[in-house]
Amino acid sequence: MALKIVKGSIDRMFDKNLQDLVRGIRNHKEDEAKYISTCIDEIKQELKQDNIAVKANAVCKLTYLQMLGYDVSWAAFNIVEVMSSSKFTYKRIGYLAASQCFHESTDVIMLTTNQIRKDLSSPNQYDTGVALTGLSCFVTPDLARDLANDIMTLMSHTKPYIRKKAVLIMYKVFLKYPESLRPAFPRLKEKLEDPDPGVQSAAVNVICELARRNPKNYLSLAPLFFKLMTSSTNNWVLIKIIKLFGALTPLEPRLGKKLIEPLTNLIHSTSAMSLLYECVNTVIAVLISLSSGMPNHSASIQVSFSRHAHTFSLKYLGLLAMSKILKTHPKSVQSHKDLILQCLDDKDESIRLRALDLLYGMVSKKNLMEIVKKLMLHVDKAEGTTYRDELLTKIIDICSQSNYQYISILVELTRLEGTRHGHLIASQMLDVAIRVKAIRAFAVAQMATLLDNAHLLTGNTQRNGICEVLYAAAWICGEFSEHLEEPMATLEAMLRPKVATLPGHIQAVYVQNAAKLFATVLRGQEGAPADSTVAQETSQLLIDRLPLFVQSSNLEVQERASCILQLVKYIQKLQQKDVEVAEEVTALFAGELNPVAPKAQKKVPVPEGLDLDVWINEPPSGSESEDEGRKSKGKAVFAKDESRHTKPRYTEVDEKELAKRREVRKAEQANNPFYIKASPSSQKVYQDGVGVEHIPVVQIDLSVPLKVPGMPMSDQYVKLEEERRERNKADKKKKKDKKKREKGEKGRRRRGDSGPESEEDITPAHMVDIVTEEMPESRDNHIRSDPDL
């Protein structure tokens, strides 16, 4: 026994204390992890000792290791032991460790309740202090409930040191255990008039925080706070009070009126930026609630604030405050547009982003072009990709509100490199081109030039890269080829060998649209019989170039190319016989493609005589075959009959089977001692509901499209869509067509938008005739031999 003590003691002489540990870690930079794991083993040994000093040392080291990121929750019990030491030093260490690593799910927290209670009533104020501080970090609802009373008594302790801490910790306790607020509240109010300024400011603090969460209850205290505000010179306290008033004013407009006077005084008199900022924020809040004619006043304050902002921090805050004003008084912010535009040039990216947000909110008819021009300049200058992408999305957002000059901007955007929004741009272009007929001619011309310059863009083969735009370009040229001035040239451009380097889906579009262009060319040529050679040349061109696509690795491209190749060969034969083929070829691609609403399918009425719920074939035979299958599986590991495995398991079992199975199961469960029965209510529900048919089918409203960041159309078009749907329901005609036109649109996905009527809220610059059809036209009139089908 004595030997053990001696042995243990000698080990203790070589214990590392905290300093040694830190030094050791710093010296072992290469094998830090290994060194630390040896230290942890040593610590575990130390924790097994009885000596509290040793344990405290170990816990102290553990705290350090916890800070470095190592998990020390296994030592929770030891921490509690150290907390219960009578010596202040060790107690302090214990509480520190606890505040660092205890949280709600630490089980030993229950053990601490009594310990904390003892410490709270200790004669030594520092014991109490340390307990309060530690408690504030790991207080749980249970602890709060148990200790609330003790803390409340402490609020009236003789020492202000303790009173202060007690008051502040009450806030934490309230958060976890709200019922403690009621009894504690009168005491809290008393503390507002405590002689000690520390306690007073603590009370102000707590009440301010509480009031922010629930302003109604604290309105009665407003006069008291008013007095405090006018009398106090302590900036910290003032800031809290002002913040409190900011929370109260929405409820009490008269308060707001009274506040403006002292607040403006403070603003003009104080030199502390923080106080100024708080005052400004509150003034904004007050003005919002008053909605009086003082926006210019506040705006001027704002401007002076940002203008004098020599640090970026203040500029940032100024912009933040302006965006708050923007929500309610947009006009006052508009006059400071130049200032904001200046901020766009700032080096700090967060400032630039804020300014961008502000601009977006400020956009109106008049300054749209100016702002967009400025933004375009920026896009050219901006190197960082995130900022640039932000810019792009913002530009597209702004422009999508009005189609004016949209196309040219889009084309300019495509000339930029290194952006990920090719897809976005592409869909926008398609959108605009389809819907706004008047712009089609212009769009087509632009697209043609784009295709000619395609070699500039083929370098970028990212998924979302700019080459997506070529997709749009090709499609637009093909679909609206009647506007093309030189269809031959464009056809050439589309079939260049370099096209084969583009991603597969783009090539497919190219091929398809080449076919459409071919039709246009033929139509144009066949007016004059003397030019039949040109027509034949075109066919020859196609026949020469298409085989390259037929050999493509992409299935889609192959398919389309080979179909069209055959078609062209056939047409060539006909041409050699001098047959007019133009009509028929054009008929291949006749008909306008319109966007289809996602709900269109639902609107198609189910034809009579079709019952979708009836089994089409005989249901597969019942459980016997399954049993057989199982048995055979048992005998032979590798079942010869593969089809059995793939048979659907949900065979239609009739009522009797179900009831029988239920009985068997219940008997089993009753006999099984380990089975935990479900609560009776849920069982009852199960008994009542028989089979799947009785589960009520609720229509899920899919009218809200997915919010895809960067897609500008969602909100607006959802609203319009709903309006139009009401209207359409009134005069809907029954159509029999089931074919989804979406498929015919070459796999292009529409996200929840459909052809809108002329937007009521935005009057277009020129009358545009926008396509309004939602349902695809019936199949009988338009036959398309689409290779897809």
Site for other proteins in 254-293 (CB under 8 A): 273-274, 277-278, 281
CA distance 440 to 481: 10
CB of 161 to other proteins, least distance (A): 6
Would you say 94 or 422 has its CB closer to other proteins? Answer: 94
CA nearest neighbour of 589 among 743, 447, 782, 775: 782
Residue of the chain from 68, 610, 616, 695 that contacts other proteins (CB under 8 A): 68
- Residue 8 contacts residue 49 (beta carbons within 8 Å): yes
545 binds other proteins (CB under 8 A): no
Would you say 203 or 476 has its CB closer to other proteins? Answer: 203
234 binds other proteins (CB under 8 A): yes
CA distance 83 to 91: 5
239 binds other proteins (CB under 8 A): yes
CA distance 652 to 107: 50
Residue of the chain from 40, 47, 55, 63 that contacts other proteins (CB under 8 A): 63
CA distance 487 to 625: 65
Residue of the chain from 55, 163, 164, 523 that contacts other proteins (CB under 8 A): 164
Residues paired with residue 436 on neighbouring β-strands, in sequence order: 770
Residue of the chain from 27, 37, 38, 89 that contacts other proteins (CB under 8 A): 89
CB of 253 to other proteins, least distance (A): 21
CB of 330 to other proteins, least distance (A): 22
CA nearest neighbour of 336 among 327, 326, 345: 326
Q: Which residues in 1-40 are b (16+ Cβ under 10 Å) and which e?
A: eeeeeeeeeeeeeebbeeeebeeebeeeeeeeeebbeebb
Encoded amino acid at 495, one letter: L
Would you say 232 or 562 has its CB closer to other proteins? Answer: 232
304 binds other proteins (CB under 8 A): no
Would you say 166 or 473 has its CB closer to other proteins? Answer: 166
316 binds other proteins (CB under 8 A): yes
539 binds other proteins (CB under 8 A): no
62 binds other proteins (CB under 8 A): no
475 binds other proteins (CB under 8 A): no
423 binds other proteins (CB under 8 A): no
Would you say 242 or 413 has its CB closer to other proteins? Answer: 242
Residue of the chain from 137, 534, 588, 768 that contacts other proteins (CB under 8 A): 137
CB of 769 to other proteins, least distance (A): 45
CA distance 478 to 513: 5
CA distance 231 to 189: 18
CB of 169 to other proteins, least distance (A): 6
Q: With CB under 8 A, what is the number of residues at the site for other proteins?
A: 77
CA distance from start to end of the chain: 92
CA distance 277 to 266: 11
Residue of the chain from 263, 351, 439, 495 that contacts other proteins (CB under 8 A): 351
SS3 content of the chain, % helix, strand, coil (to 5): 70, 0, 30
- Residue 163 contacts residue 156 (beta carbons within 8 Å): yes
Segment near other proteins (CB under 8 A); pick from 34-42, 128-136, 503-511, 652-660: 128-136
CA distance 289 to 52: 61
Q: What is the DSSP string of 485-515?
A: S-HHHHHHHHT-GGGGGS-HHHHHHHHHHHH
53 binds other proteins (CB under 8 A): yes
Segment near other proteins (CB under 8 A); pick from 178-186, 306-314, 542-550, 681-689: 306-314
Would you say 26 or 635 has its CB closer to other proteins? Answer: 26
Would you say 250 or 629 has its CB closer to other proteins? Answer: 250
Residue of the chain from 9, 27, 149, 533 that contacts other proteins (CB under 8 A): 9
172 binds other proteins (CB under 8 A): yes
3-state DSSP of 200-238? HHHHHHHHHHHHHHCHHHHHHHHHHHHHHHHHCCCHHHH
CA distances from 772 to 384, 589, 592, 597 (A): 41, 20, 12, 11
Residue numbers 665-724 binding other proteins by CB under 8 A? none
317 binds other proteins (CB under 8 A): yes
CB atoms within 10 A of CB 577: 8
Residue 444: CA count within 13 A, CB half-sphere: 21
Segment near other proteins (CB under 8 A); pick from 131-139, 553-561, 718-726, 734-742: 131-139
402 binds other proteins (CB under 8 A): no
Q: Which ranges of 436-503 does DSSP label H, i.e. alpha helix? A: 437-452, 454-457, 467-479, 487-494
133 binds other proteins (CB under 8 A): yes
x/- mask, other proteins, residues 17-46, rule CB under 8 A, reads -xx--x------------------------
206 binds other proteins (CB under 8 A): yes
